[in-house]
Structure 1
Amino acid sequence: MGDYIQDIRNRYLKVVAASLDGSICEDPPLPASGAVAYDANLRAHGWDWPSRAFTMVGSKRLENVRRLLESVIGSDVPGDFVETGVWRGGASIMARAVLQAYCVTDRRVFACDSFEGLPRPNPDKFPVDEGSVFHNYVDLSVSLDAVRSNFAKFDLLDDQVVFVKGWFRDTMPTLPCKNVAVLRLDGDMYESTIDPLVHLYDRIPTGGWVIVDDYNVVPAAKQAVDDFLQSRSLDLRMEPIDGVGVCFRVP
């Protein structure tokens, strides 16, 4: 019976993931991503932005969300899933689907975003962000109503999902979350990466995880993580996900 239930879980989560990244229908990419047609390899690695699907992180990073949540559930590491920077909500929807598949009712999914795009750079405080143009990308601005609607399309909009609207510098210090089992950083800037780390890292129990979506492709995000770990004298092994993202376990 146990194998049968796990098989049903696997089938459900596989279909959810393929629906979220658009691979199930070969959703073509947005022109702004630089890709001109659907390519399975690009989509797997999150190297394009789907036109209508729910995430740009690709299938490998979605699988990483699943794997790490299964890890903390199986190891009984307390805490919620927190994503900072959700775009259309896909990775957070995946997290909620994993909780649903395992009948977990005592963990929440925090979907944190401005829901207005990325902030303008503040080079006086964060020199590394000088010249950042992400705030000009209209395609990166997705409203809260749109993200809520996307959760509802998967029948996963309920009281285990908490939407936190605002700039991270304002929302992270008072995030109503005691423990963070999995923290997923997808801020694309130094400021948007360092703020969640500063305010949430100490809420991650031993055995919890930090995912950095764009560690290997956005130098500002990588530097924010490296600077934070150095400030804590932490020398942690970065586990590669897909050549773009990484994750590390909290000791």
Structure 2
Amino acid sequence: MKNDAPLYLDLMKRILTNSIYRGAPIAWFEGNPGFAVSYSSDWERTARWPNVAHTMVGVERLDNVQECLEQVIEDDVPGDFIETGAWRGGVCIFARAILRAHGVRDRKVWVADSFEGVPSAGAGSHPLDVELGLHDKNDVLAVSEECVRENFRRYDLLDDQVGFLGGWFSETLPSAPLDRLAVIRLDGDLHRSTTDALVHLYPRLSPGGFLIVDDYGIPACAAAVHEFRDRNRITDPIRFIDPYSIYWRRTG
């Protein structure tokens, strides 16, 4: 598989994003004031919200996942991959494909999601989460665990190197059976969800590992990231994947 890995992974990216057949984005997303994202005709690279695809992140962000995972494999940085907020599972499916393509058997892909959409933002919630009101879109955002498992099966990638953490992050992540993590990818949109994931997962990120934030273009998420970095005196430089998503490599 290793000699064919680039071709296999490139094809996986095209299929997972449905950039082969394409299609119109989900209608409600257009014009939503809570998102600093616009549509583009560049299907190969941009983030978008497709009606038919297993991920909404676009090829450019999948490229970033591949680069980070391949770097920790090359550098022998210990730990698993986790995504918090998986939707239809496409990014995690791709992460599992990367491990298979490189013959990696000692790492696991963790799919962390409520499988019910995002938590309601009511009284006591962060004001930016209330303003975003993303829970009103749970008819689109909620994807069942069985549906995500079935998507893994379609790629022949559901095996014992895939683990599921179903429930709200505040309940599942503190006691999750995780030791070390090499790549953490946050895709929880909200201030609350981003904070929960950072608080409970970042201490498990190995030095040399990567922290990826998909939703940095959402003010609530960006605020949570900077508050966490300030509290923990994290000075590792932030790198932009595109104008709306970021990552950094942990140095200590």
Shift of 1:218: 0.3
Residues 108-160 of structure 1 show CA distances to partners (whole Å, capped at 9, x for unaligned) of: 00000000110011552534322231111111111111111111111101111
Shift of 1:32: 2.2
Residues 12-63 of structure 1 show CA distances to partners (whole Å, capped at 9, x for unaligned) of: 000001000010222332222329xx964156211x2111110000000011
CA distance in 2, matches of 1:50, 1:130: 25
Structure 2 residue aligned with 1:50: 50
Tell me if structure 1 keeps the 8 A contact 2:85–2:187.
yes
Helix, strand or coil at the partner of 1:25: coil
Unaligned runs of 5+ in 2: 32-38
Among 8, 13, 22, which residue is 1:17 paired with? 13
Alignment of 1:133-152 (within 5 A): 133-137=133-137, 138-152=139-153
CA distance in 2, matches of 1:176, 1:72: 21
- Structure 1's 129 and 34: CA in aligned 2 closer, same or farther, altered over 3 A? closer
Structure 2 residue aligned with 1:201: 202
CA distance in 2, matches of 1:80, 1:39: 33
Alignment of 1:208-227 (within 5 A): 208-215=209-216, 217-227=217-227
What is the RMSD of the two structures over their aligned residues, measured on CA atoms?
1.6
Structure 1 residue aligned with 2:228: 228
Helix, strand or coil at the partner of 1:41: coil
CA distance in 2, matches of 1:33, 1:175: 32
**Which TM-score applies when normalising by structure 1?**
0.92
**Which TM-score applies when normalising by structure 2?**
0.92
Tell me if structure 2 keeps the 8 A contact 1:118–1:135.
yes
Q: Which amino acid aligns with 1:161?
A: V
Helix, strand or coil at the partner of 2:59: helix
Tell me if structure 2 keeps the 8 A contact 1:105–1:160.
yes
Structure 2 residue aligned with 1:192: 193
Identity %: 44
Tell me if structure 2 keeps the 8 A contact 1:21–1:54.
yes
CA distance in 2, matches of 1:125, 1:116: 18
CA distance in 2, matches of 1:139, 1:15: 26
Alignment of 1:26-175 (within 5 A): 26-34=22-30, 40-41=41-42, 44-46=45-47, 48-124=48-124, 126-137=126-137, 138-175=139-176
Q: Which amino acid aligns with 1:128?
A: L
